[in-house]
Structure 1
Amino acid sequence: MLLLHLQRRLRQQQQQQQQQRLVAAAYAYNNNYYYPPPPPADSAASSNNNNINSSLNLPRITERRPNETGRGGRASDAGLKVAVFGATGFLGRYVCSGLGSNGVLTYIGSREDEFSYRHLRTMFELGRAKYVFYSSRDKQSMADLIADADIVINLVGKHYDTRALEDTKTFPYLNYKIQTSIEEANVSVPKMIADLCKEMQVDNLIHVSSAAADPDSPSEWARAKYMGEQEVLASYPWATIVRPTHMFGHEDRLLNWFANMADRFPVVPLVDGGHALTQPVWVDDVAKTINRIVDDPEKFEGRRVDCFGPQDYSYAELARFVYDITGQEPTLSDVPSQVVKYGANVLQYMGNPMLTPDMVNLMSVDYLPELTEEGYAAQTEVYTMENLGVKATPIEKVAFKYLHRFRKGGHFILAEGYH
């Protein structure tokens, strides 16, 4: 009997050790969105375990909220309710993926039908996402989306005026009507969201702007981004402003733009020689940064977080980098911005325009973070991704994954055998 008892105890210990290994593996696997497990109780580090993540004392996964249940992960309840405007956009899908991975109850707003957000459904456990139709011109529908959310994230933005044909009574009986202007998407809507957050006493608001935001920029979009920031802060002074540089990723309008232009035209224009600089940041790094702000939003109230990549490039360098990967051979032409605008005036009437006059203005100036690396280190008012424990990913590590589809043969050129 004693031998059987000892064998049973040994099996129990082995099972406990196996469970601990599985939990440790889960922590390692989810390290992108979770913080490392705490040190052992007898460890000297346990007395200062608030500092193990970054200089901002970010919360660890073991620091639980009052309503939090579960071990962490998508099947848990993070004890948070987050409303997301602009969830169906480029950055939105990555932010939602992080929220779903952390078990956050998310209210997703959409101005379109179910097809616009169905790709987001798989990012959440059943019942952890609610989809709400709203109109940016209907304040009550936007209030319905916010509902009882603890945090509101505004990702709404448009880099061009959306247009549609409408009937007219005079020849040629058709006219292009602006449905949503740059100013409405980047100024009016953020202001309305901030006003609602104040009226409904939402705990925190995260507003995503742009590093290009500048009241004196030649780009209407960049000026609108700056005005949007000011309107948000005027209505909701403790909002957190996130300023990313040009984002790259699978659905981007940066590297994909060069590849798509080479697919459609024999000549790709470099605005003013492509000498303007940009410091692109991976969209997933920006999403991780936003999700870390969601983890402990009080630390970032009224602050700005700048997101940027590890290196700057000229647009000419980015073009050559793209074509080295894709094998495309367009003619790169140095064209003055005023000349490029002639073609952009025609292309802007496409449903999703590849080029508009305002985009030409934006590509003619530098698109960089406000400060240098030394400048950020010398001040404490503005945070960066590094302060939040997110290390910037080089563009070379990501670009090939989605650009090699533009090669002759596409994805299959690297596969051997029958295909």
Structure 2
Amino acid sequence: MPSNIDTLVTVFGGSGFLGRHVVRALAKRDYRIRVAVRRPELAGHLQPLGKVGQIHAVQANLRYPASIAAALHGSHAAVNLVGILAESGAQKFDAVQGAGAGAVARAAHAAGARMVHVSAIGADENSPARYGRSKAAGERAVLGAVPSATILRPSVVFGPEDQFSNRFAALARISPMLPLIGGGLTKLQPVYVGDVATAVADAVDGKTVPGAIYELGGPEVLTMREIMEIILRVIERKRVLMSLPFGLANLQALALQFAPGALKLTPDQVALLRSDNVVSDAARAAGLTLQGLGITPDSLEAIAPQYLWRFRAAGQFQKKSA
């Protein structure tokens, strides 16, 4: 089997939650990896994921095209993972997820590199959330610059260090109740970060259909209430699940958008919960899913106990319930 050691892949946003798993998946396939991040001095945790000299971090910012072009010099493939859940300073949705994605794609086209872009199932130009509209704008910009690019749209991603299951587990540790925005009826299809990383690596391998948009979801469609119940079972805590109408949630978000940690909630995040976040029938019919790539997805209930145990009252020393 031929080695990929002579193939250089530049991964934008490779130091984050999804990024470290993508870097690990590419390293296992013997690619040389250049990780393009805003703060390369904080990306040292990636080097042990590969062999000596296989992974190297460089500085790049999606708001500065020159830095993108420099990061892509000599690359054979570009992977864009950069995304934000809330705006901060100059890091705006449109600048990062819209214009920034297009800048990466144009630089990839100029370098003759294969383009893989990770978006989100919530990408929709008519979305009530600016997050969703900016993701849709990014997809248009990517395909406009590189029509053969692969777009991957995951549902909500879970795994160690995520900002989803860990966030609610942390909230359950300090609060006697957990809010169910909109009654907790919104449907999600949580997908394991390792499965998404495998799909990205497959796209870099060239196993995906050029120009296609893949939708990545886990094996189960769950409501927010069902997800909260799973998390509470895993961390072995009993909490009141309180329904919170969208209107009231939006009012609370006006203040909580400035809160730290697990308490943070933005109006944009409330708007996202007004729509289900699941793989479409069209994507399933066309085989543009994890299963279509030959990947059997792992469930939240199977994976969460491996990392959420730290939120139990006694952590790893908690006695298992009968």
Please classify the TM superposition score into its range, dividing by the shorter chain length.
Answer: over 0.9
Distance in 2 separating the partners of 1:138 and 1:311: 40
CA distance in 1, matches of 2:260, 2:44: 22
- What is the rounded CA distance, in whole Å, between the counterparts of 2:146 and 2:274 in structure 1? 33
- Give 2:307's aligned residue: 402
Mapped partners of 1:261, 1:341: distance in 2: 19
Deviation at 1:265, TM superposition (A): 2.8
Aligned counterparts of 1:85 and 1:334: Cα–Cα separation in 2: 38
1:332 and 2:270 correspond: no
Who wins on radius of gyration, i.e. which is larger? 1
Residue in structure 1 matched with residue 27 of structure 2 by the alignment: 100
Q: Give me the whole-angstrom Cα distance separating, in 1, the residues matched to 2:139 and 2:46.
A: 27
Measure, in 2, the Cα distance between the counterparts of 1:243 and 1:279. Answer: 12
5 Å matches for 1:32-181? 62=1, 64=2, 68=3, 78-115=5-42, 117-162=43-88, 178-181=89-92
Counterpart of 1:201 in structure 2 is: 112
Judged with a 3 Å threshold, the aligned counterparts in structure 2 of structure 1 residues 359 and 394 are, in CA distance, closer, same or farther, namely same
Q: Using a 3 Å threshold, how does the CA distance of structure 1 residues 364 and 310 change in structure 2: closer, same or farther?
A: same
- Amino acid across the alignment from 1:397: A
TM norm structure 1: 0.73
Deviations 1:331-354 (A, max 9, x none): 211111121122222221246573
Percentage identity across aligned positions?
A: 30
Deviation at 1:192, TM superposition (A): 0.7
Of 197, 203, 210, 1:293 maps to: 203
Task: Look up the match of 2:164.
Answer: 254
SS in 1 for 2:82: coil
Which of 120, 135, 138 is equivalent to 1:228? 138
Q: CA deviation at 1:113?
A: 4.6
- Using the alignment, how far apart are the partners of 2:211 and 2:284 within structure 1? 19
Instruction: Give the corresponding residue for 1:190.
Output: 101
In the alignment, the residues of structure 2 paired with residue 187 and residue 325 of structure 1 have an alpha-carbon distance, to the nearest angstrom, of: 37
For 1:216 and 1:376, locate their aligned partners in 2 and report how far apart those are by CA, in whole Å. Answer: 19
Asked if 1:389 is matched to 2:294, the reply is yes
Higher relative contact order (CA 8 A, sep 6+): 2
* Deviation of 1:364 (Å): 2.6
Distance 1:281 1:331, change over 3 A: same
**Contact 1:257 / 1:354 at 8 angstroms: preserved in 2?**
no
How far apart are the structure 2 equivalents of 1:130 and 1:369?
35
- Measured after TM superposition, the shift of residue 120 of structure 1 is 0.6
CA distance in 2, matches of 1:388, 1:261: 36
The letter of the residue matching 2:97 is: N
CA RMSD in angstroms, aligned pairs only: 1.8
| Whole-Å separation in 2 of the counterparts to 1:183 and 1:350 | 23
Residue-by-residue CA offset, 1:151-178 (whole Å, 9 max, x unaligned): 000001111101xxxxxxxxxxxxxxx3
Residue 167 (structure 2) pairs with residue 269 (structure 1): no
Q: Distance in 2 between matches of 1:235 and 1:113?
A: 27
| CA–CA distance in structure 2, aligned partners of residues 378 and 321 of structure 1 | 29
Alignment check: 8 A CA contact 1:87 1:109 kept: yes
**Paired residues of 1:210 and 1:242 also in contact (CA < 8 A):** yes
Query: In the TM superposition, what whole-angstrom CA distance separates every residue of 1:362-390 from its partner, at most 9, and x where no partner exists?
Result: 1232111122xxx54543xx522112221
Distance 1:321 1:377, change over 3 A: closer
1:37 is aligned to none
Give the ranges of 4+ consecutive aligned residues of structure 1 lying more than 3 Å apart after TM superposition. Answer: 350-353, 375-379
Cα offsets for 1:201-256 (capped at 9, x unmatched): 22x10000111111222221111111110111111111110111111111222222
Looking at structure 2, the residues matched to 305 and 242 of structure 1 have their Cα atoms a distance apart, in angstroms, of 5
Residues 1:322 and 1:205: Cα distance change in structure 2 (over 3 Å): same
Distance in 2, matches of 1:411 and 1:281, equals: 25
Name structure 2 gaps, 5 residues minimum. Answer: none
Q: How many corresponding residue pairs?
A: 319
Partner secondary structure for residue 286 of structure 1: helix
Distance 1:223 1:377, change over 3 A: closer
Paired letter, 1:86: G
| CA contact 1:84–1:153 (8 Å) conserved in 2 | yes
Q: CA deviation at 1:322?
A: 0.9
What is the CA–CA distance in structure 1 between the aligned matches of 2:91 and 2:175, rounded to whole Å? 29
CA distance in 1: counterparts of 2:170 and 2:11, whole angstroms: 30
Q: Determine the structure 2 residue equivalent to 1:411.
A: 316
SS in 2 for 1:109: strand
CA distance in 1, matches of 2:9, 2:159: 24
Unaligned runs of 5+ in 1: 1-61, 69-76, 163-177
How far apart, CA to CA, are the structure 1 residues paired with 2:173 and 2:256?
Answer: 15
